[in-house]
């Protein structure tokens, strides 16, 4: 019985996989304010050109630079676990495997792209990165990466999280990053909000605006902005997860995978595990691939495939994606990383192509699943990760009913050691499911109905 499957140092994948090269329909380009496809150089004030090239690349395989591999190999290859204790508890004939991305120093999959982005920026001569963070996972991952590569790092953290999650802020500071509450008095965007509402709790939209403004207003040209999800190059950097998983399954003779599951907020951990398997599916393999989201923020299950902005303040180009509308404000569930109005264009298009079957779950079911997982497998999951676990448990129970020896693979995207207040509330009976008011959803979707439609949406199912 294989409990934890390792790869040795020299088995780490040496190329990233670009799903964009294999999707049946080409990925739609982002649009500028004039409604025309944006050219790479228009993005160059925000991102370094080497990452922009990755963003628009149609190459299938992109070589991972040695220096990036050297840093990733501090914690990669991550272990692949067989969830034997959970299987026994559920008395399921399913074999459940999970990639443990929680072993990275910041505790999630986020550093896979943080390290790559910091490295490419440094290579391009950039000295300083800015970013935003909500719950704090992304901010701490970028602080970690910048620390290892000797870049300055400034993180605009949504004020309400900054106040409620002081440990995340301390983590970033310990890695030498500057972390400040957003809205801040340091940017035009921040000052404008603070003038109107000095007590503003902030939002991811505001924090993005501040971080981008900070980057583009550095006249020395030495500062750029970094984003932790949604964009093509971010998904690319995460594919090392799925590529490792394939090698690990192969190593123990597990020939076919029936089901690949991951939680999805902006889409990066889900993409990381699933894209190499989507490739198999495009080539004829029979695999159910399931991104899981909260019912209270149903980006994939109840929205449209549209051109929409990535931020509330509409500073980003229009991206072809599933979106609840850039004005959408999701209910305050604990899985902060899943409270995003949009979905990565690559994931969105894979949904449109019929390659994925998204699912939405309620918070209480996810906490129940997280507790069962913690008490059988022993690892406490992040609130986001527990959405994947809840879906896995649904499928393992179904396998038991059907008497089928299904192979289920999921991404354990991060541990929950720094998110224990949610567990506390759940165990005390103080948590509940949030029902999304229909009128809120309709209003938000209505506000984007006149935005351009991606070609594939116009011609296809949508």
Sheet hosting strand 178-182, strand order edge to edge:
178-182, 152-158, 128-133, 223-225
Token output for 444 = 């938000």
The residue (of 366 and 379) whose beta carbon lies closer to a second copy is: 379
Q: Which residues bind a second copy (CB under 8 A)?
A: 1-9, 70-71, 73-75, 81, 84-85, 103, 105, 107, 144, 147-148, 167, 170-171, 173-176, 371, 374-380, 415, 417-418, 420-421, 423-424, 427
Distance CA 213, CA 454 (A): 28
Contacts of 17 (CB under 8 A, 6+ apart): 60, 61, 236, 239, 242, 243, 275, 276, 279
Least distance to a second copy from the beta carbon of 105, Å?
5
CA count, 13 A, side-chain hemisphere, 393: 23
Would you report the helix, strand and coil content of the chain in percent, each value rounded to 5?
40, 15, 40
Distance CA 422, CA 435 (A): 18
The residue (of 424 and 442) whose beta carbon lies closer to a second copy is: 424
Least distance to a second copy from the beta carbon of 146, Å?
10
Least distance to a second copy from the beta carbon of 267, Å?
25
Q: Is 369 strand, coil or helix?
A: helix
The residue (of 421 and 459) whose beta carbon lies closer to a second copy is: 421
Least distance to a second copy from the beta carbon of 264, Å?
24
Q: Which H or E element spans position 5?
A: strand 4-5
The residue (of 308 and 419) whose beta carbon lies closer to a second copy is: 419
Least distance to a second copy from the beta carbon of 46, Å?
26
The residue (of 4 and 443) whose beta carbon lies closer to a second copy is: 4
Least distance to a second copy from the beta carbon of 380, Å?
6
| Sign of the CA dihedral with 214 first, then 220, 221, and 222 last | negative
The residue (of 289 and 379) whose beta carbon lies closer to a second copy is: 379
Contacts of 235 (CB under 8 A, 6+ apart): 19, 267, 268, 271, 272, 275, 344, 346, 347
The residue (of 328 and 423) whose beta carbon lies closer to a second copy is: 423
Least distance to a second copy from the beta carbon of 340, Å?
25
């Amino acid at each position: 019985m294989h409990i934890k499957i390792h790869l040795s140092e020299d088995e780490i994948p040496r190329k990233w996989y670009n799903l964009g090269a294999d999707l049946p329909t080409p990925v739609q380009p982002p649009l500028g304010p004039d409604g025309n496809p944006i050219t790479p150089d228009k993005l160059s004030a925000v991102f370094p050109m080497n990452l922009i090239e990755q963003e628009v690349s149609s190459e299938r395989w992109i070589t991972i630079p040695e220096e990036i591999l050297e840093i990733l190999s501090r914690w990669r290859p991550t272990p692949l676990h067989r969830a034997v204790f959970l299987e026994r508890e559920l008395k399921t004939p399913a074999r459940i495997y999970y990639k443990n991305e929680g072993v990275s120093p910041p505790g999630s999959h986020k550093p896979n792209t943080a390290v790559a982005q910091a490295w490419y920026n440094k290579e391009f001569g950039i000295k300083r990165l800015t970013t935003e963070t909500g719950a704090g996972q992304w901010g701490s991952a970028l602080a970690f990466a910048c620390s290892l590569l000797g870049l300055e790092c400034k993180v605009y953290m949504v004020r309400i999280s900054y106040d409620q999650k002081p440990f995340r802020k301390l983590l970033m500071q310990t890695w030498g990053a500057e972390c400040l509450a957003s809205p801040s008095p340091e940017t035009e965007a921040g000052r404008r909000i603070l003038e109107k509402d000095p007590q503003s709790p902030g939002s991811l939209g505001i924090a993005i605006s501040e971080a981008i403004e900070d980057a583009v207003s550095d006249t020395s040209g030495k500062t750029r902005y970094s984003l932790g999800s949604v964009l093509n190059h971010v998904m690319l950097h995460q594919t090392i997860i799925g590529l490792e998983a394939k090698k690990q399954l192969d190593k123990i003779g597990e020939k076919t995978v029936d089901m690949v599951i991951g939680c999805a907020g902006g889409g990066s951990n889900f993409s990381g595990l699933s894209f190499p398997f989507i490739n198999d599916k495009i080539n004829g393999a029979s695999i159910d691939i399931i991104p899981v989201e909260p019912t209270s923020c149903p980006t994939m299950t109840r929205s449209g495939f549209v051109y929409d902005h990535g931020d509330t303040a509409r500073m980003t180009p229009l991206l072809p994606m599933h979106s609840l509308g850039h004005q959408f404000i999701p209910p305050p569930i604990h899985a902060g990383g899943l409270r995003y109005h949009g979905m990565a264009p690559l994931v969105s298009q894979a949904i449109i192509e019929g390659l994925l079957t998204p699912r939405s779950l309620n918070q209480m079911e996810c906490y129940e699943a997280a507790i069962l997982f913690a008490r059988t497998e022993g690892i406490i999951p992040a609130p986001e990760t527990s959405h994947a676990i809840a879906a896995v448990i649904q499928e393992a129970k179904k396998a038991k009913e059907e008497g089928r020896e299904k192979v289920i693979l999921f991404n354990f995207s991060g541990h929950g050691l720094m998110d224990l207040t949610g567990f506390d509330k759940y165990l005390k009976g103080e948590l509940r499911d949030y029902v999304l008011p229909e009128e809120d959803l309709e209003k938000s979707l209505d506000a984007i109905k006149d935005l351009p439609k991606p070609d594939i949406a116009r011609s296809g199912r949508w």
